[in-house]
Amino acid sequence: MDIPIQWKAYNLKIAITGGNGRLGSEATAYARARGHKVTVIDRDGDPGPQTEIMDLTDFDSVAAVISRGGFDAVIHLAGMPGRTRVAGDVLFRNNMLTSYNVLTAARQADVRKIVFASSETILGLPFDTSPTELPIVETSPTTFRVGHDYGMVKHLEDQIAQQMAADDPRLSISAIMLTTIVLPETYVDFARFEDDARGRGYNLWSYTDVRDAAQGVVRAAEYAEPGYERFILAADDTVMTTPTSELVGRYHPSSRLTKQLGTHESLFSNEKAKRVLRYSPQFGWRSER
């Protein structure tokens, strides 16, 4: 079914939490290049006229900035990455409080558009058990695993966002389900994945270039259709030179294929993001090694 589309593509006032991080800085640059006015909200960096530095686990600080900003959209990217070497309770407290504060402050300030960094982790990672069907899409049947602290927060964020959108029919929330974000300087190391295909199969050999991830989250901020929507962001291809059909046959022979696969086609489908958000991956390891 086609999704009706409303767009507010130009001259938006956007707050980007985590805007000094690697993805956040790319998203900030991309948004500004498209003519948007961006305010960065982060715990690290130097304060300035377009940058607010604060502890995002402190609700009053977050709410004060968002309430006075007059923002059209909030892009929430702040939080400890899943592989941060800290105790699980530390990661959970930081990421859960940060997300609650940002989403709640945005809603209280009557921000009409919220984008937040969801994750592939709530779609069944690690895939040591074969998925029912492939490629993975936003509505694929999966089993959420509560033993993953980072994934647990992402699952709870997803539930909060869905409830917020259900409570306010004017609100547009986009959950951006990011596959593993990679930096272009790491492409030289991709050849080693052939030596450990099973190990790299934890997320079905998918990835997203950080520059394409930035494009996706900003385009989601421009998408203003009310309601809650999930969007998977992934590169068009896998990290492997082994053909995708061979990987599926070797490691997931019980999974039902819902389409004919291209030679190196990703097993995380980005088709919805392309169709609805006009997402168009521009960068990949095969062309930039």
Per-residue pLDDT band for 47 (boundaries 50, 70, 90) equals confident
Q: What is the pLDDT of residue 2?
A: 42
Q: In terms of Cα–Cα distance, which of 1, 29, 14 is closest to 220?
A: 14
**pLDDT beyond 80 at 143:** no
Q: What is the pLDDT of residue 125?
A: 83
Residues 158-175 have a mean pLDDT of: 95
Per-residue pLDDT band for 4 (boundaries 50, 70, 90) equals very low
pLDDT (tens digit per residue) in 231-268? 999 999 999 999 999 999 999 999 999 999 999 999 99
Residue 244 lies in a domain: no
pLDDT averaged over every residue in the chain? 92
Q: How far apart are CA 142 and CA 121, in angstroms?
A: 10
Q: What is the pLDDT of residue 219?
A: 97
Domain tally, the chain: 1
Per-residue pLDDT band for 9 (boundaries 50, 70, 90) equals low
Radius of gyration of the chain (CA): 19
Residue 76 lies in a domain: yes
Question: If 0-12 CB within 10 Å is exposed, 13-18 middle and 19+ buried, where does residue 281 land?
Answer: buried
In the chain, the N- to C-terminal Cα span, in Å, equals 39
Residue 78 lies in a domain: yes
CATH number at residue 30: 3.40.50.720
Per-residue pLDDT band for 11 (boundaries 50, 70, 90) equals confident
pLDDT (tens digit per residue) in 202-218? 999 999 999 999 999 99
DSSP secondary structure of 122-148: GGT-STTS--SEESB-TT------TT-
Residue 108 lies in a domain: yes
Q: In terms of Cα–Cα distance, which of 222, 268, 223, 267 is closest to 242?
A: 267
Please state the separation of Cα 94 from the chain's center in Å. 18
Residue 258 lies in a domain: no
The three-state (H, E, C) secondary structure of 7-58, written as one string = ECCCCCEEEEECCCCHHHHHHHHHHHHCCCEEEEEECCCCCECCEEECCCCC
**pLDDT beyond 80 at 8:** no
For residue 144, the enclosing domain spans 13-127+137-184+208-238+268-281
Strand partners, 7: 223
Q: What is the pLDDT of residue 10?
A: 67
Which of the two residues, 183 and 45, has the higher pLDDT score? 183
Q: How far apart are CA 267 and CA 260, in angstroms?
A: 11
Residues 160-172 have a mean pLDDT of: 95
Q: Which helix (H) or strand (E) holds 119?
A: strand 113-119
Scanning the structure block, which residue is given the tokens 């709640």? Answer: 104
Residue 203 lies in a domain: no
Residues 171-188 have a mean pLDDT of: 95
The three-state (H, E, C) secondary structure of 183-239, written as one string = CHHHHHHHHHHHHHHHHHHHHCCCCEEHHHHHHHHHHHHHECCCEEEEEEECCCECC
Scanning the structure block, which residue is given the tokens 């937040």? Answer: 116
Rounded percentage of the chain residues whose pLDDT exceeds 90: 78
Is residue 177 classed as helix, strand or coil in its secondary structure? strand
Residue 3 lies in a domain: no
Per-residue pLDDT band for 64 (boundaries 50, 70, 90) equals very high
Question: If 0-12 CB within 10 Å is exposed, 13-18 middle and 19+ buried, where does residue 253 land?
Answer: exposed
CA distances from 101 to 63, 78, 112 (A): 7, 11, 16
Residue 5 lies in a domain: no
pLDDT (tens digit per residue) in 12-40? 999 999 999 999 999 999 999 999 999 99
